[in-house]
Amino acid sequence: AQSVTQLGSHVSVSEGALVLLRCNYSSSVPPYLFWYVQYPNQGLQLLLKYTTGATLVKGINGFEAEFKKSETSFHLTKPSAHMSDAAEYFCAVSDQGTSYGKLTFGQGTILTVHP
């Protein structure tokens, strides 16, 4: 069975500071890993994903994440936070080869950016 743990339900940073949102997963087979962002009263939007190949993946809005198999982690980073990054972020995992690609989501991390 697959699971996702996001460390920290709330993260607060200053504008211009590094953003680091943590995600650890468990999976019995090689995983596909995703980060989604949700703005207030909106659906979830795909930020980036890891499937195979390069372990450092880049997404939209300057975000990137690194797949570390030995640490079972997929942390999301952005070098310099912007006010518009304030949102809730969800990490998700999908086992390769599952019958319909079911995603398991973490509990979410709310990012606050203050001036």
Partner 1 sequence: ETGVTQTPRHLVMGMTNKKSLKCEQHLGHNAMYWYKQSAKKPLELMFVYNFKEQTENNSVPSRFSPECPNSSHLFLHLHTLQPEDSALYLCASSQVDREYYGYTFGSGTRLTVV
Q: Please give the residue ranges that form the binding site for partner 1 (CB under 8 A).
A: 32, 34, 36, 41-46, 49, 51, 90, 92, 94-96, 98-103, 105-108
Whose CA is closest to 107, among 88, 83, 85, 87?
Answer: 88
Least distance between partner 1 and beta carbon 71 (Å):
22
Q: Which DSSP symbol is given to 66?
A: E
Nearer to partner 1, 68 or 102 (CB): 102
Least distance between partner 1 and beta carbon 110 (Å):
10
Contact of 4 with 105, CB cutoff 8 Å: yes
Nearer to partner 1, 38 or 72 (CB): 38
Nearer to partner 1, 12 or 45 (CB): 45
Residues 6 or more apart from 71 whose CB is under 8 A from it?
A: 24
Q: Which DSSP symbol is given to 30?
A: P
Least distance between partner 1 and beta carbon 9 (Å):
9
Tell me how far apart the alpha carbons of residues 78 and 111 are, in angstroms, rounded to a whole number. Answer: 12
Least distance between partner 1 and beta carbon 65 (Å):
13
